[in-house]
């Protein structure tokens, strides 16, 4: 799903008005009708049921007025609480306000924060409603909600049984970064206009809505498709687009050779998960470089992997060069260790090659202590930290990183000229030059040790097959998320293991290929 900034959407609206001759009132009509249609689709026929609209005096309120009028025309009992002054409305908002009034919709003007009987009347209306429309603020919000809008928005905190529908974005939520501006409406459904906005997915945004519907308000689909995205959700559609083709006449040499640096005594499983995921990704060949102490165990565990004992240090230079020769990509870090030998090994892997590299786990801790080793790999490097590793890399606290996940990832990506995959409840993928993508699904079934090793192997395997670094990172996260959904179906929220996540990948890839 393409994500456009509020500025981009406003520019598209203005273009539709200028180039197509569509008045702002028509776009508002289309938006309000989309909200009304979404409500009817979910709650069913009117049968005289009640609908409450909380509206501001801006354009977002105009969307709510249209929805109230349309629903009233379809047999709902509509009631509007207007937080704002009628004489300060834009012309198109005023047009729809008066059209709604002429149809007999009840309007209560709220000039001060409602208290006593006024607050009781508001709550009575909300409590008996089949649906509630939040049209208080919208994407143009600057700063915290002011009274009386704030008090009205605070009522929609999940206490009512009605379907709560946000017009464009839950009021009180920044459309830019998902920060809550004092208070924010908790909605079951968000009907967003023309395209999804960043704030729906960033920061606290995902906590304030459950279902998203994009409304066609008259902006041509071709214009939206041509717009450079502010961001992208990592979903099935994007995975299908990025998945590399599999030539009918292809052979293993055509699908890349990944070199994995992973594993140490006590952490052999990390190497197996990483290497196994690489093989599942479709890579033609995978060689696992690991500690000599566990080489025999790893060879016996997955016969498809080639396993080599490898160690850093000056005496190993020639052997390391030989092992890295003709490899298509490198994945390093899971269970590797952080001794001087491993530091030397990672540094040589970055300096001796020109192929793309993905670093995870111990390799990130090594990089944090010697960040200049990333310089030779600038532009071909992917980092996959979880918040704790991100804190080590950046010197920030985990709390600061979680408060601004996109900003933190952008800063590190720019500093190291690397694609950053900041893992977590909604993994963010950021390129050095600015594009970003986010995993829209939050899945606690993946909150298990080893699932990150699977992601590293997936991304490494895709790099070896020739995908550019940003594309490989996006597809790897998307496949990991889809496999996690399959894991959740099979084993629930708690019981699935990282090794079983590997077994979910074939079903995911088969579905995408079909």
* Token output for 187: 């909605």
Prediction pTM value: 0.91
Beta bridge partners of 79: 52, 106
Taking alpha carbons only, the member of 315, 418, 403, 431 closest to residue 368 is: 418
In the chain, domain spans = 2-229, 236-513
Give the H/E segment covering residue 132. Answer: strand 129-135
Nearest 5°: the CA angle 169, 171, 172 is 115
Handedness of CA 165, 41, 231, 355 (dihedral sign): positive
- Rounded to 5 degrees, what are φ and ψ at 65? -65, -45
Cα 333 to Cα 258, 290, 328, distances in angstroms: 14, 10, 17
Q: Give the C-alpha separation, 168 to 457, whole Å.
A: 38
How far, rounded to the nearest angstrom, does the alpha carbon of residue 272 sit from its chain's CA centroid?
28
To the nearest 10°, report the CA torsion of 185, 190, 196, 202: 40
Q: Which CATH architecture has domain 236-513?
A: 3-Layer(aba) Sandwich (3.40)
pLDDT at position 299 = 84
Residue 44: other Cβ atoms inside 10 A:
10
Question: Are the beta carbons of 170 and 209 closer than 8 angstroms?
Answer: yes
Question: Rounded distance, CA 431 to CA 414, Å?
Answer: 8
- CA dist 320 and 310 (Å) reads 7
pLDDT, residue 483, reads 97
Q: Are 210 and 191 in contact (CB under 8 A)?
A: no
DSSP state of 424: S
Q: Provide the pLDDT for residue 187.
A: 98
* Residue 322: closest CA among 291, 293, 362, 287: 287
Q: Please give the chain's pLDDT, 514 residues, in tens.
A: 999 999 999 999 999 999 999 999 999 999 999 999 999 999 999 999 999 999 999 999 999 999 999 999 999 999 999 999 999 999 999 999 999 999 999 999 999 999 999 999 999 999 999 999 999 999 988 899 999 999 999 999 999 999 999 999 999 999 999 999 999 999 999 999 999 999 999 999 999 999 999 999 999 999 999 999 889 999 999 999 999 988 888 889 889 999 999 999 999 999 999 999 999 999 999 999 999 999 988 888 889 999 999 988 888 888 889 999 999 999 999 999 999 999 999 999 999 999 999 999 999 999 999 999 999 999 999 999 999 999 999 999 999 999 899 999 999 999 999 999 999 989 999 999 878 999 988 899 999 999 999 999 999 999 999 999 999 999 999 999 999 999 999 999 999 999 999 999 999 999 999 8
Number of Cα atoms under 13 Å in the Cβ half of residue 331? 41
Check residue 139 and give its pLDDT: 94
The answer to whether 176 and 198 have CB atoms below 8 angstroms apart is: yes
DSSP conformation class of 153: H
CATH 3.30.470.10 for domain 2-229, yes or no, is no
């Amino acid at each position: 799903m393409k994500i456009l900034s509020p500025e981009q959407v406003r520019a598209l609206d203005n273009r539709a008005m200028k180039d197509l001759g569509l008045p702002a009132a028509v776009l508002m009509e289309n938006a309000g009708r989309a909200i009304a249609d979404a409500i009817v689709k979910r709650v069913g026929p009117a049968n005289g049921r009640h609908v409450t609209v909380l509206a501001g005096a801006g354009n977002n309120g105009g969307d709510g007025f249209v929805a109230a009028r349309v629903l009233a025309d379809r047999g709902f009992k509509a009631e509007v609480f207007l937080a704002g002054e009628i004489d300060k409305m834009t012309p198109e908002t005023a047009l729809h306000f008066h059209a709604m009034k002429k149809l007999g919709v009840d309007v209560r003007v709220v000039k001060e924060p409602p208290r006593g009987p006024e607050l009781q009347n508001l709550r009575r209306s909300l409590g008996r409603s089949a649906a509630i429309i939040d049209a208080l603020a919208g994407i143009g919000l600057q700063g915290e909600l002011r009274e009386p809008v704030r008090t009205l928005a605070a009522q929609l905190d999940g206490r009512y049984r009605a379907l709560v529908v946000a017009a464009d974005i839950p009021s009180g939520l920044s459309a830019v970064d998902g920060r809550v501006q004092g208070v924010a409406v908790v909605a079951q459904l968000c009907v967003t206009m023309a395209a999804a906005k960043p704030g729906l997915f960033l920061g606290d945004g995902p906590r304030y809505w459950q279902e998203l519907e994009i409304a066609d308000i008259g902006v041509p689909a071709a214009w939206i498709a041509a717009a450079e995205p502010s961001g992208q959700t990592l979903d099935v559609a994007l995975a299908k687009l990025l998945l590399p083709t599999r030539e009918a006449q292809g052979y293993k040499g055509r699908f890349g050779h990944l070199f994995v640096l992973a594993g140490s005594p006590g952490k052999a499983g990390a190497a197996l998960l990483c290497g196994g995921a690489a093989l599942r990704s479709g890579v033609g060949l995978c060689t696992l470089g690991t500690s000599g102490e566990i080489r025999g165990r790893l060879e016996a565990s997955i016969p498809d992997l080639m396993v080599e004992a490898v160690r850093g240090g000056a005496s190993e230079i020639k052997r390391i060069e030989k092992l890295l020769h003709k490899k298509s990509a490198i994945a390093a870090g899971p269970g590797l260790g952080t001794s001087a030998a491993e530091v030397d090994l990672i540094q040589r892997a970055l300096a001796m090659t020109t192929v793309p590299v993905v670093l995870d786990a111990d390799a990130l801790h090594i990089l944090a202590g010697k960040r200049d080793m990333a310089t030779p790999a600038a532009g071909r490097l992917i980092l996959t930290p979880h918040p704790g590793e991100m804190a080590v890399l950046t010197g920030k606290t985990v709390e600061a990183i979680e408060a601004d996940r996109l900003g933190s990832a952008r800063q590190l990506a720019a500093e190291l000229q690397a694609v950053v995959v900041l893992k977590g409840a909604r993994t963010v993928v950021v390129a050095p030059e600015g594009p970003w993508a986010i995993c829209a699904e939050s899945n606690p079934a993946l909150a298990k040790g080893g699932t990150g090793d699977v992601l590293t192997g997936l991304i490494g395997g895709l790099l070896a097959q020739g995908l550019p670094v940003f594309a490989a990172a996006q597809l790897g996260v998307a496949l990991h998320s889809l496999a996690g959904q399959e894991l959740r179906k099979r084993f629930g929220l708690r019981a699935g293991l990282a090794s079983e996540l590997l077994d979910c990948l074939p079903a995911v890839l088969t579905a995408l290929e079909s």
